[in-house]
Amino acid sequence: MPYRPNKPCRHPGCAALVKSTERYCEKHKPLHPEYIRSAGSRGYGGRWQKVSKAYLREHPLCVECLKRGRYTPATVVDHIVPHRGDRNLFWDESNWQSLCKPCHDKKTGREDSTPTYGY
C-alpha cells in the first residue's frame, strides 16, 4: 500500500515538505500554538466556560446579526481582536462580543486566512 505524499508547510511562504498528517514544519510549529496545544492549555478551561456563559446571559443576541436587523441568539463569546496568547487581551471584557456560531465561524475564517505573526 503506497504512502500519502508529503505536502508543503501551511505557513505563508514556506515550501518545506511535511507529513500528510502535519500542518507545519518544525520551524513554524511554535508560531501556530492553536494546532499543537489543547483548548484548555490555551485558556479555554473551566474558568473561561463559567465566565463566557455569564457573558452570554448578559448579552444574549448576536451583535453581527443585530447590525443586519436580525434577532439571533448568541452561542459563542468571541474575542474582537484575536488574543494570540496574550493573557491580558484574553481576559479583557471590552474585547469580547456575543456571536452566533455561523457569524463566529465566518469571522474566524477571515482572521485565520490572513493571520498576523509576531516574530
Per-residue pLDDT tens digits for 19-46: 988 889 999 888 877 676 677 777 788 9
Q: Cell triple for residue 41?
A: 492549555
pLDDT at 77: 97
| E strand segments, the chain | 7-8, 17-18, 76-79, 96-99
Which residues of the chain carry a pLDDT beneath 70?
Answer: 1, 34, 36-37, 114-119
pLDDT at 116: 64
pLDDT at 41: 72
Give the SS3 label for residue 78.
strand
Sign of dihedral through CA atoms 90, 93, 94, 96?
positive
Angle (CA) 41 46 48, round 5°: 80
CA-based R_g, the chain, Å: 18
